[in-house]
Amino acid sequence: MIMKFRYLLLPVILLLGACSEQANQQTATAPASTPAPVVASAPQPAAAQVTLGTVAPAESANKQFKGSITSSLNPVVINEMHNWTLHLTTADGQPVEQATMTIAGAMPAHAHGMPTNPQMTRNLGGGDYLIEGVQFQMGGYWEVKFTITAGSQLDDLLFGITLQ
Ligand SMILES: [Cu+2]
């Protein structure tokens, strides 16, 4: 994970500089045996800590699902990869046990995406899903959208998140 994080530093810095549409553009993961780039040993500015703003439980666009998220890293540290757990229920609160999903995050005000492609990697049971590869490159208002399929249901679940 650390190796991957270091490998992502350069593109992240480029993203910060450009602040343009770079949604979901992730550099290919380096093999674990690849040495860290020399630049990674240079002095780095201290990582900024920001508070994961109150993330209200959300209702999906067509009201088929409700969801809430918890973060493995709280406060969130800018530019640090971490995981989320999504708890997913039906509209009446029953856990959704067998869902698949894709995830996309963006800052609407800046028209750019996240520096990573978060993925649901494990169904934890009871309506909980592990989301790996969450990373933010700056504070401010983010929207993270889960496009969820469960059985014949397909719906978008969007969380508005202010990192400040
Ligand atoms: Cu931004």
> How many whole angstroms from 112 Cα to the centroid of ligand 1?
6
> How many whole angstroms from 61 Cα to the centroid of ligand 1?
24
Q: Which domains does the chain have, with CATH numbers?
A: 2-163 (2.60.40)
> How many whole angstroms from 18 Cα to the centroid of ligand 1?
10
CA separation, residue 34 to residues 6, 26, 52, 63, 120 (Å): 11, 17, 33, 46, 26
pLDDT of 21 above 60: no
pLDDT of 25 above 90: no
**What mean pLDDT is predicted for residues 122-142?**
96
> How many whole angstroms from 8 Cα to the centroid of ligand 1?
17
pLDDT of 64 above 70: yes
> How many whole angstroms from 127 Cα to the centroid of ligand 1?
31
pLDDT of 105 above 90: yes
Whole-number mean pLDDT of the chain?
79
pLDDT given at position 76: 83
